[in-house]
Amino acid sequence: TTFQLSDYRESDFIVDAVDLTFRLDPERTEVVSTLTVRRRPGVSPDAPFVLDGDEVELKSVSVDGQTMAEEDVAETGNGLRLSNLPGQAAFSLTITSEIAPERNTQLMGLYRSSGVYTTQCEAEGFRRITFFPDRPDVLAVYTTRIEADRESAPLLLANGNCIETGDLGEGRHYAVWHDPHPKPSYLFALVAGDLGVLEDDFTTASGREVALKIYVEHGKEARAAYAMDSLKRSMRWDEERFGREYDLDIFMIVAVSDFNMGAMENKGLNVFNDKYVLADPEIATDADYANIEAIIAHEYFHNWTGNRITCRDWFQLCLKEGLTVYRDHEFSADQRSRPVKRIAEVRLLKAHQFPEDAGPLAHPVRPDRYREISNFYTATVYEKGSEVVRMIATLLGEDGFRKGMDLYFDRHDGEAATIEDFLACFEDATGFDLGQFRLWYDQAGTPVVSVSTVWDPGSRRFTASFEQSVPATPGQAKKDVMHIPLRFGLVLPDGSEAEPTSVTGARVTDDVLHLTQRSQTVQFDGVSARPVLSLNRGFCAPINVHFEQAPADLAHLARHESDPFARWQALNAYAMRVLVEAVAKERAGGTVDVDPALAETMIATAEDETLEPAFRAQALALPGENDIAREIGNDIDPDAIFAARRAVQTVIGKTGAEIFARLADTMETPGAYSPDAASAGKRAFRHALMTYLSLADASPARANEAFAAADNMTDLSQPLLLLAHFFPESEGANAALATFEERFHDTPLVIDKWLSAQATAPGAATLERVRMLMEGEHFSRSNPNRVRALIGAFAAGNPTGFNRADGAGFAFLADEVLAIDGRNPQVAARLLTTMRSWRSLEEGRRRHARAALERIAAADKLSSDVRDIVDRTLAG
Ligand code: ARG
Ligand code: ZN
């Protein structure tokens, strides 16, 4: 079935309250659900009540205490249809059913992970717990009673506040939780088990005392400290930046080790993949700390953007996700370095969202059709969705944006809203017309803006010509003209900025140029020296710019732009230019040479003491192999890309060796490890320098030494990667891997790093290593983190290994997708998305990729998740 946005209809029945009783048992959990229901005014009195259900065994149904007649209860295969219900009056509907948490391998609904009962309901998991109109626009007040064995489950948690606990005899006990805020079923949560807790508290701006609790495996409480600190900072930040306070007396987070995604914002009871909760210097890297901070914030911010105001239907997913990602991006930017955070965001957007938007799985930020909603928790909905919100903030300015957000919270609190509702708030609060802008929600594909410029010294006029287009995407052949806001600057030879006396041909507000036509010629008058156009500062618009800027101009921007992000952007574009040329040379069988000015500019940036170390680390990081592939676009030979990139890297390392060695010595972080952004930046810079120096020396010596000296996971894992990827045959590489495994064999989250380090070692031989690791004691197909760390990392992060010329990598992935699909369709479908760029490969590899996809498509039993991805990947 394909669901379409245009088919949306309000539900016939309104559910005001949901009373749930769970009698927990691993093999047969009884769920008694009593709904307080009324017919929506105007709905026919004979309309049946249709409820969703999936793998739920029905026991009985009664209305106002009377068992329903058998002929009025139809099991449809994906739920229930109840007929002959009261026509006018509200009624109470009680459904008794059974589920088996222990056998729930999909990790959707109620399942057990390491002996802990837990739930995941978004998007359509609640129907795997009980029969219910499982759609986000049905908002009800929930009361949850949990009964369980006291010994195995001393802890009984659900949404809201705990209002009662007691003993049931025979070793069982119960707790009752009440959540006063009406919510959709996807925000329901229940946790029961034996866990340790880290406790703290928070006083909100208006004086509400909130108990904060983070539940983790016993003995790991101390590892939740950074998550707790991040939570308190998030709560304060949302008050200060958006005026949003927390609204219950308790906020709980539970960390579980089997989880399909990162985390889930269930009301008052967030459930997290433990990867995004647990940290201490021995087990977590700087990147892990930054992720924990961001994801704790993300889920907390959902309390207002997602929970208090939710989505009318799943087509509107970006309403909560894009907005909440934007909010967590801003939070991290405020907590850390804004430009460095922005660089990381843009790298991630280009690495994940741009290829999605350019391939067969491309879809609008707000899709208008889907077969399986789980497949739409994508980089486009999340990251491009966030960029669209960022553009609204650019268009309206900080004050206008805040006014629109205030109106949104005010107007839609307690409702299930749409993108139209959201945009109307900004228009009504500021008067700004978003009529053309809203196409960003509906048109898929990354817009391309082609630019050319001329400066005429005689008339002192600078002219820039722009042409925009949006590539065709599946289901959208023709595109309309978009409103593209571009921050810009005209950088003069001395590094200062030109201030034109007049601009014609486009609207300009502050430093934003508004492209609103297919082609536009913009004249800047009163420009007395030749300027270099710095376009799309801050990566204000998520577009591809085609602009043949001279290397000298890019170098000028990289050295003189006032905006640090723009300096990085220019340097990155320059490096990309050189890398693409190097790949062409490599494929033609020539020797790769490197424009010396690129190396000089990179070295000068590394040496620039006015820049923070984290920025200098970013400046030194060349575009990755997948980035280069995306830039080249078609007929991709991953081996040539790898070889060319390695050659360029080596030249830069050799050219800068002396300076890099001197700089590395100034980047010490003495004393105890601290995860703060400044220290992390020094470590990142030191590791970037070490990589170049190791290449220059053609020796693993520095990495061996660093590995031996490391006293924290960041300093340990970086040389491990360096050894495994650059010196895989060396004694040091094998010794380091062995030492690492020995030290951390009891800590699966750290073993994931060990698996990934090996899975991403370049070259055709890695596939055999991956197969071997799958046979080893550390791998399990049933744990999503292990699958992602080994198979996911191999497919997504090892271009030469996965795209082996003989097609063995694709065949392997197909086998694994099929093997995992039977147990966990979401994980299988996600794994398969790593094939999305198959058409851009050179012909031989493309043929092998198609064969692997066709083999999956031909399997007799596929989940709807994998069916949807494989069909679209082959068709697009
Ligand atoms: N809402 C969660 C978040 O953004 C993600 C839930 C994803 N669930 C799913 N079934 N794909 O943090
Ligand atoms: Zn989210």
106-111 long-range contacts, CB within 8 A, separation 24+ = 106/823, 106/824, 106/825, 106/826, 107/258, 107/259, 107/260, 107/784, 107/824, 107/826, 108/260, 108/826, 109/54, 109/55, 110/22, 110/29, 110/190, 111/258
Nearest CA to ligand 1 atom 2: 264
Reported as a single tens digit per residue, the pLDDT across 543-565 is: 999 999 999 999 999 999 999 99
Confidence of residue 37 (pLDDT cuts 50, 70, 90): very high
Distance 453 CA to ligand 2 centre (A): 41
Interval between CA 299 and ligand 1 midpoint (Å) = 10
Measured between alpha carbons, how far is 53 from 127 in angstroms, rounded to an integer? 5
Contact residues for 532 (Cβ-Cβ < 8 A; gap 6+): 490, 491, 549, 553, 556, 557
Q: What is the mean pLDDT of residues 397-412?
A: 98
C-alpha of residue 500 to centroid of ligand 2, in Å: 43
Q: Which residues lie below 8 Å from residue 698, measured CB to CB, with a gap of 6+?
A: none
**Using 50, 70 and 90 to split pLDDT, how confident is the model at 536?**
very high
pLDDT reported for residue 750: 98
**What integer best gives the mean pLDDT of the chain?**
98
The Å distance, Cα 266 to ligand 2 centre, comes to 11
Question: If you write DSSP's letter for every residue of 817-845 in order, what string do you get?
Answer: HHHHHTT-HHHHHHHHGGGTTGGGB-HHH
Residue 91 tokens, joined: 């009624």
| pLDDT in the model for residue 785 | 98
166 pLDDT band (50/70/90 cuts)? very high
Coil, strand or helix at 249: coil
Buried b / exposed e across 600-619, counting CB within 10 Å, b at 16+? ebbbbbbeeeebbbbbbbbb
What pLDDT does 4 receive? 98
Torsion of CA 292, 121, 867, 834, to 10 degrees: 0
Q: What sign does the CA torsion over 277, 282, 287, 290 have? A: positive
Instruction: Give the strand pairing for 250-256 and 269-273.
Output: parallel
Cα separation, 828 vs 815, in Å, equals 11
Measured from the CA of 377, which atom of ligand 1 is nearest?
11
pLDDT of 615 above 90: yes
Residue with the two structure tokens 């139809």:
74
Ligand 1 atom 1, closest CA = 264
For residue 773, the CA-to-ligand 2 centroid distance in Å is 32
Residue 711: other Cβ atoms inside 10 A: 10
Q: Specify the ligand 1 atom closest to the Cα of 123.
A: 10
Task: Report the nearest atom of ligand 1 relative to the CA of 382.
Answer: 4
Q: How far is the CA of 757 from the centre of ligand 1 (A)?
A: 27
539 C-alpha to ligand 2 centroid (Å): 22
Among protein residues, the one whose CA lies closest to atom 8 of ligand 1: 122
CB 876 within 8 A of CB 474: yes
Place of tokens 């843009």: 346
> Residue 679 burial by CB count (10 A; 0-12/13-18/19+): exposed, middle or buried?
middle
- In the predicted model, is pLDDT for residue 876 greater than 90? no
Residues 6+ apart with CB under 8 A from 663: 606, 607, 685, 689
Residue nearest to ligand 1 atom 3, measured at CA: 264
pLDDT of 496 reads 97
* Cα 382 to middle of ligand 2, angstroms: 8
d(CA 123, CA 108): 9
Residue nearest to atom 11 of ligand 1 (CA): 374
CA 125 to ligand 1: nearest atom: 10
What is the percent of the chain with per-residue pLDDT over 90, rounded to a whole number? Answer: 100
Task: Report the phi/psi class of residue 107: left, alpha or beta, with left for phi > 0 and alpha for psi in -120 to 50.
Answer: left
| CB 93, CB 34: distance < 8 Å | yes
Banded pLDDT at 570 (limits 50, 70, 90): very high
Structure tokens at 756: 């990934």
Q: How far is the CA of 616 from the centre of ligand 1 (A)?
A: 34
Answering whether pTM is above 0.80, one says yes
Q: List the catalytic residue out of 299, 345, 612, 816.
A: 299
pLDDT band with cut points at 50, 70 and 90 for residue 312: very high
Ligand sitting nearest the alpha carbon of 784: 1
Ligand 1 atom nearest 298 alpha carbon: 12
- Pocket probe mutation, ligand 1, options 122, 186, 276, 321, max atoms within 8 Å of Cβ: 122
How far apart (Å, rounded) are the C-alpha atoms in residues 825 and 776? 24
813 contact partners, CB below 8 Å, separation of at least 6: 791, 795, 802, 831, 832, 834, 835, 852
Establish how many alpha carbons lie within 13 A of residue 824's alpha carbon, considering only the half-sphere containing its beta carbon: 27
Residue 508: per-residue pLDDT: 98
Establish whether 609 is a catalytic residue.
no
Ligand lying closest to the C-alpha of residue 324? 2
Atom of ligand 1 nearest to the CA of 263: 12
What's the ipTM?
A: 0.98
Distance, in Å, from the CA atom of 753 to the CA atom of 255, rounded to the nearest integer, reads 19
- Atom number in ligand 1 closest to CA 262: 12
Instruction: Tell me how far the alpha carbon of residue 383 lies from the centroid of ligand 2, in angstroms.
Output: 11
**Candidate of 291, 304, 377, 380 to mutate for ligand 1, largest count of ligand atoms within 8 Å of Cβ:** 377
For 47, which DSSP code?
P
Instruction: List all residues whose CB is within 6 A of at least one atom of ligand 1.
Output: 122-123, 261-265, 298-299, 321, 374, 377
